[in-house]
Amino acid sequence: MSTALSAQNTGLGFFKGVGAVFALEMKQRLRSRGWYILLAVWFVVIGLVAAFTAWVTDQQATAGQVLFELMVAFVLFFGLLVAPALSANAVNGDRAAGTLAVLQVTLLRPGQLLAGKWLASWAASLGFLAASVPFLLWALALGGVDPGIAAVSLLMLGIELGVVCALGVAVSTLANRPLFSIVVTYMLVALLSIGTVIAFGLSTPLVRGTVEANMPQWEEDAYLQPSGTEPGFSCVGPLFEADVYHTDRTAWLLAANPFVVLADALPYSGDDLSGGPLQGIGEAVRYAQAGAESSGPQCINGEPRDYGVPASSFPVWPLGLAVQFAGAALALVLAWRRLRTPAHRLAAGTRIA
């Protein structure tokens, strides 16, 4: 009796327990036909997008970089759609099938269950990233892709998919019904990817201000300037009040957006002009950080302004990752408390075994 109690108290080693849960989950997923169907659909869709983009940008000097950035953006977009479906029923699906209680009475601990299921969901979602590798290699073969940008893109893609899978596993533990947990996870993903942009847009009236401006007068040969140079102008006429928006006070609202995190983390140099979607997102964030310095009239107080792309005052992706990690960690802590046994209080209708 004492030997059994000692073994129960000792339990499995943490990583051994996580590995056991991970192996069990992966065997179940690999036996599922639906996972392979999703992979096939993913491969076809990404292939069509890659072929169309390559056809459109065939004559551009930066075709490789544009294709690569678009592929990365689409992989992130579709990954945010697929990852909740792969993770948001990881725990309550077992609860509904009556197999969760069997795992809970073993030597496995709640943290091992959560970690194993999260890693399995993450590995399944990374499978979709692996299915996109042929098209990413196609973009690399076209040339013009900076190796540092390519490496950071793939790293940040994997991290973002891991965050979404962590949220999905946590929500599946807290919710009793798989359908409800999937919907909630999709809502959290929408809050990060769409809600942050909406919140930033709705906040602009709150940071509106006014400046004294007048009108620009362009030089006579403004349209005959050599390509790549900015035409000159002077500020003339009476001063009048014009609106400006101090978005530098609210740009932090965009930090947790997965697309902003990915785009802002890419190590672009000052002379990189890829024209790709990720660089466009990064430039938009820099404009938002600059606030009134990059918006509004071209002449303020009789002085001309430079409308070039502003340099970012600070990178926002570390703040975004910190917010995402904190949210996922809080959700996992609540899920860990929910999985502890013995359970002193269960919701009505909860299946035990």
- Block means of pLDDT (10 residues each) for the chain, 353 residues, are 38 81 86 82 87 73 77 89 88 78 78 91 90 84 80 93 94 88 93 94 88 74 50 74 85 93 83 71 87 75 69 82 95 88 59 53
Cα separation of 83 and 77, whole Å? 10
* Model confidence, pTM: 0.83
DSSP per-residue string spanning 21-84: HHHHHHHHHHT-HHHHHHHHHHHHHHHHHHHHHHHHTTT-TTHHHHHHHHHHHHHHHHHHHHHH
The CA–CA distances, whole Å, from 275 to 184, 280, 282 equal 35, 7, 11
Distance CA 88, CA 169 (A): 5
Which residue in the block uniquely carries the two structure tokens 């108290």? 9
254, 282 contact by CB (below 8 A): no
- Per-residue pLDDT, 137: 84
Residue 64 near residue 138 (C-beta atoms within 8 A): no
Cα 100 from chain centre = 30
Which pLDDT score is estimated for 60? 65
Q: Give pLDDT, residue 243.
A: 81
Q: Which pLDDT belongs to residue 33?
A: 80
**Identity of the amino acid at 77:** F
Residues 6+ apart with CB under 8 A from 55: none
